[in-house]
Amino acid sequence: MVDVDELVAAARVVRLPMRVRFRGITTREAVVFEGPEGWGEFGPFPEYGDAEAAHWLRAGIEAAYLGFPEPLRTAVPVNATVPAVPPDRVPEVLARFPGCRVAKVKVAEAGQALAQDLDRVAAVREAMPGGAVRVDANGGWTIDQAERALLRLLEGGPLDYAEQPCATVEELAEVRRRLDGACEIAADESIRRADDPMRVAELAAADVAVVKVAPLGGVRAVLDVAAALKAAAGVRVTVSSALDTAVGLSAGIAAAACIPDGNAAGLGTGGFFAADLGEHPLVDGALRVRAVAPTEERLAAVEVTGERRDWWLDRLRRCHTLLP
């Protein structure tokens, strides 16, 4: 295991300003550090406890000190991601995803009504004619709400899948049973925030697994989970971003490039940042497989000092003690 003092000495705490509110935040903080194989990222959301956040540190150490497996492809197709914005802002958001033919739309946002979700999805369908639409509720509905909402959304056209409509695996299984094939169900939090990701397969709770590198502990951990879910229940896999900086996004792209039959990945989130640590240009709806090495100029422009830096480094030290 890498010595924690070595990590702290290399650590740079950054705060990236965002163009739109996403996941309830307008800035994204993380720690990045350089190792012999490149740069790693540690950026668990502030509300996560140390035990859960330790997986994010393990993923960052893997990137910086082990590097990534050999990819199967040189580019990864991605979906557009549409936050819970008003319908008139949908074209502006989609413009940041040139060439994408799949859009994932946030629904069930706290404080919003189903009518707003319906209008937002309709605006996406209008702006991306012939494209595929996914919706993501982040566990925000009850079983009855999910059934009602998804049937209403399906009246406007097919859905590629509905991601985490309810919070628990058992609830996902019931929603999937009620819909009876009308819409595929994807599990996100039920995998990345679960003690046993395989319960999704055991309970026949999902058709799709949305996997994220940092919460699962690294690229190799993602590939292991993806292979196990595929073998156990034929669950297809979508690799997604945990609102990573360009450093962390490199790991997500590496994972997606190693999955033989992956879907359009949810990795096109770089456009949400007004400033970032590097670039992953989106060309014809795809991201090239490459690792970002931030320049000193980019780091200095978004670096955090003082008490907030101390808070992150203290957290890194605590999480390090929990690693095997």
pLDDT (tens digit per residue) in 270-294: 988 999 999 999 999 999 999 999 9
Catalytic residue list contains 230? no
The residues pairing with 77 across neighbouring beta strands, listed in sequence order, are: 286
pLDDT > 80? residue 192: no
Q: What is the mean pLDDT of the chain?
A: 95
Catalytic residue among 28, 55, 106, 320: 106
Query: Would you place residue 262 in the very low, low, confident or very high pLDDT band (cuts 50, 70, 90)?
Result: confident
pLDDT of residue 194: 62
Catalytic residue among 55, 212, 280, 315: 212
- What domains lie within the chain, and their CATH numbers? 4-68+296-321 (3.30.390.10), 75-288 (3.20.20.120)
pLDDT (tens digit per residue) in 55-95: 999 999 999 999 999 999 999 999 999 999 999 999 999 99
pLDDT > 90? residue 6: yes
Average pLDDT over every residue of 132-151: 97
Q: Determine if the pTM surpasses 0.75.
A: yes
Catalytic residue list contains 212? yes
Helix (H) or strand (E) holding 248: helix 246-256
Residue 16 and residue 44 in contact, taking contact as beta carbons nearer than 8 Å: no
pLDDT (tens digit per residue) in 211-222: 999 999 999 999
Give CA 236 to chain center in angstroms: 16
- Note the residue count of the chain: 324
Average pLDDT over every residue of 104-128: 97
Contacts for 85-93: CB closer than 8 Å, 24+ residues apart = 85/20, 85/120, 86/116, 86/120, 87/119, 87/120, 87/122, 87/123, 88/123, 89/20, 90/120, 90/123, 90/124, 90/127, 91/123, 91/127, 93/20
Does 163 count as an annotated binding residue? yes
Residue 54 and residue 61 in contact, taking contact as beta carbons nearer than 8 Å: no
